[in-house]
Amino acid sequence: MSAVSDVIRTRVDAGSGALVGYLPVGFPSFEESIDAAVAIAQNGVDVIELGLPYSDPVMDGPVIQAATQQALARGFRLSQGFEAVRRITDQVSVPVLLMTYWNPVLSYGVERFADDLVSAGGAGLITPDLIPDEAEEWLAASERTGLDRVFLAAPSSSDARLARAVEVSRGFVYAVSTMGITGARTDVDSAARSLVSRLRDAGVENTCVGLGISSAQQVREVLDYADGAIVGSALVTALSSGGVDAVARVAADLATGTSRAGEVRRDEGIRST
């Protein structure tokens, strides 16, 4: 079992579920992005999804696009992604997955990328634009290194496509709650519940729902049927408007959605109040 799977299973077995928090590297500055990632881990986030800024995203909504464009404008370089993973995992035990589009991995070299991520202490990759049918190089590299590989499943995916995503994913399958891009929504689409049910039928072990989740109530609703809830834009907005202290407060509030009444979560586990 991978570190990510282990964390998710621990949370599910405890009667709650996992909170996955997304933040981009290099926003609002490189140093602050590291401090922010550490802060959300210390305030209830179970798995960090660390986004590599990319000039041509296909999944990111306006909040995340603006943040990553700012990081790129300030000179972000891919090597800083590995440095960030190293510095975050030196400070907290929460596993860190890099979220990256596939072109940067290809340009860097798939084997080299995998080796450098392992050396930095990373847990694996989330690859939104890479489908399992075209992932032979990454499947081989992740098998060799033991890195997790998180593929996406969408409401429009065929049953055969879902079965393939379940077969090759490790860590969890990323269930896209709705068709579209990231960004906070007032309601998480009901399509997510149906998608998770179909993934269960396909034999998925862990599946986490993302896109549009921005409140503790929505986290709680998602964890009623999924193993994890993924939050991105709400955290980026807090970081943008109020800095590290603000994103820590939002993470702590979101984490209340994963806990049963009367419990408060922190980095090193669950403690009762």
For residue 128, whether the previous peptide bond is cis, meaning omega lies within 30 degrees of 0, is no
Contact, 208 vs 175, CB < 8 A? yes
Catalytic residues: 49, 60
The SS3 of residue 54 is coil
Say how far apart CA 218 and CA 105 lie, in whole Å. 33
The DSSP bridge partners found for residue 229 are: 19, 209
Cα 10-15-19 angle, rounded to 5 deg: 65
Q: Which amino acid is at 3?
A: A
- Strand (E) or helix (H) holding 114: helix 110-120
